[in-house]
Chain A
Amino acid sequence: GAGVSQSPSNKVTEKGKDVELRCDPISGHTALYWYRQRLGQGLEFLIYFQGNSAPDKSGLPSDRFSAERTGESVSTLTIQRTQQEDSAVYLCASSPGTRVDRQFFGPGTRLTVL
């Protein structure tokens, strides 16, 4: 597709359940980011993939959060044993990994944990 896509667009889950969020980056983009944005707040960095380098996981808030990326394509963010404080919009962005490394953002997945 032409842009970054994310699925699902909305996810409602019960506390304690696991969820998987998917990101399809723009084809050819080597870099991929996951962010979390709580209501009315700024972007919180979660994880960064760049090509074949080891991912930067420094932003993951707990060991309940993990992410994988297959080569330079799809990425999945997994949240295990969800908590109410995990409720947020999860944004994915990809970028070409060039000098002017502008990020293209997906529409986000709105996660609500009841």
Chain B
Amino acid sequence: GEDVEQSLFLSVREGDSSVINCTYTDSSSTYLYWYKQEPGAGLQLLTYIFSNMDMKQDQRLTVLLNKKDKHLSLRIADTQTGDSAIYFCAPRGGGYQKVTFGTGTKLQVIP
């Protein structure tokens, strides 16, 4: 099955950029999702990228995909205290294979 790895913790200062990294093992992954879990709240889809794309930008969010290295990153520009949350990388295999979640990276934003 798919293995997905993320660093557990990231701390940044308000206004700086945050980069959350993810590596995965299944080269047939088609869609790669980022979910956000705020304290005491449920998981929400933040953004996603299709495997034939290298980059996707959505306001302050930039997703970069290096398919050769099976490396995905999420960059948050001008990080705000409201961005403090756990971010999960979740690739999905080809066809209707299940989505596999990473361990999650807890982002702490220091005012």
Contact = CB atoms under 8 A, between A and B. Distances in A.
Pairing of A with B: yes
Interface of A: 31, 33, 35, 41-43, 45, 48, 50-51, 53, 56, 58, 91, 93, 95, 97, 99-103, 105-108
Contacts of B1: 58
Contact of A42 (B31, B42, B88): B88
A42 B102 contact: yes
B86 to A, nearest CB: 8
Contacts of A101: 31, 92, 96, 99
A103 B101 CA distance: 11
Contacts, number: 54
Residues of B in contact with A, size category: 20 to 34
Contacts of B99: 33, 95, 101, 103
A97 B43 CA distance: 18
A106 to B, nearest CB: 7
Nearest to A47: B98
A44 to B, nearest CB: 9
A97 B100 contact: no
Contacts of B35: 103
B49 to A, nearest CB: 11
B100 A45 contact: yes
Interface string B81-111: 0000010100010001011111110000000
A35 B90 CA distance: 13
A103 B92 CA distance: 11
Contacts of B86: 42
Given A50-B96, A102-B33, A43 B101 contact: yes
B101 A56 contact: no
B63 to A, nearest CB: 14
A45 B42 contact: no
25 contacts: A31-B96, A31-B98, A33-B98, A42-B101, A42-B103, A42-B104, A43-B101, A45-B98, A45-B100, A50-B96, A58-B1, A91-B42, A93-B43, A95-B99, A100-B31, A100-B48, A101-B92, A101-B99, A102-B45, A103-B33, A103-B43, A103-B99, A105-B42, A106-B42, A107-B42
